[in-house]
Structure 1
Amino acid sequence: MRTGEDFRHTIRRGAKGVQPTLVTHVVPGTGGPTSVGFVVSKAVGSAVDRNRVKRQLRHLMRERVTSLPPGTKVVVRALPSSAGSPSSTLASELDLALSRSGAR
């Protein structure tokens, strides 16, 4: 996901799954490529912290994107508490958020 319009559409129209460290917005797909976008604001921390969180989330979503229906659009928004969270916590909360938003 690369354009602001894709992000806006997914956040406004998607089903929301909320966890203490992240929020997911999911628009179910009807075919085509699945796309995932990440939102990590300055509230998460320094540039080093934000990039670490983005890398962790990208790695975790790479493992889960094959289980999503084709054409699904997902936005993962990291909350400030995600900066200090270990990968195992992010993984379990990502799974819960995706299931709550109807992606799995």
Structure 2
Amino acid sequence: MLPAQHRLTERGEFTATVRGSGARRQGSRLLVVHARHTDARSALPPRVGVVVSKAVGNAVVRNRVKRRLRAQVAPLLPAVPSGTDLVLRANPASASATSAQIGRTLGSALASLGLTKPSPAEPTP
């Protein structure tokens, strides 16, 4: 589980990250990563919110996907700049994906957004 200081909890925070000014996104078959950096929060740690709709599957599947996303993003948070809010939105294909696939997809999405450096295993364009 993510510590409270790293969690998005309010509806307005999710909306601002997904639709607000300065919001960026990077998507793939498995998930979409929405990111927003605010100067007002620049001294605070990055925060993450997870969205998994009913299109992904039943409650058991949705909760499994949420757990996998949280587990994969937690080790990446120290590399994300302070003051950044992230919303991870799972696509239906994430229900059948392995944790490793989700982790690779998440890492490459964050690197594409310029929030982390790509890992050596990833080819650079």
- Structure 2 length normalisation: TM-score? 0.79
Q: Which runs of 4+ in 1 moved over 4 A?
A: none
Determine the structure 2 residue equivalent to 1:48.
Answer: 60
Secondary structure class of the residue paired with 2:81: coil
Which residues in structure 2 correspond to 1:1-16 (within 5 Å)?
A: 1-13=8-20, 14-16=23-25
Which residues in structure 2 correspond to 1:22-101 (within 5 Å)?
A: 22-29=31-38, 30-101=42-113
Matched residue count = 104
Which segment is superposed worse, 25-34 or 68-77? Answer: 25-34
Deviations along 1:3-35, one digit per CA (max 9) or x if unpaired, are 000000000132101111000011125221321
Can you give the 5+ residue segments of structure 1 that lack an aligned partner in the other structure?
none
CA radius of gyration, larger in: 2
Do 1:22 and 1:76's aligned partners in 2 also have CA atoms closer than 8 Å?
yes
Query: How far apart are residue 41 of structure 1 and its match?
Result: 0.3
Indicate the RMSD between aligned Cα atoms, in angstroms: 1.0
Query: How far apart are residue 71 of structure 1 and its match?
Result: 1.6
Q: Which has the higher contact order (CA 8 A, sep 6+)?
A: 1
- Structure 1 length normalisation: TM-score? 0.94
Secondary structure class of the residue paired with 1:43: coil
Secondary structure class of the residue paired with 1:83: helix
Secondary structure class of the residue paired with 1:33: coil
- Aligned counterparts of 1:17 and 1:100: Cα–Cα separation in 2: 7
- Aligned counterparts of 1:96 and 1:70: Cα–Cα separation in 2: 19
Q: State the AA in 2 paired with 1:46.
A: N
The percent of aligned pairs where both chains have the same amino acid is 38
Q: State the AA in 1 paired with 2:31.
A: L
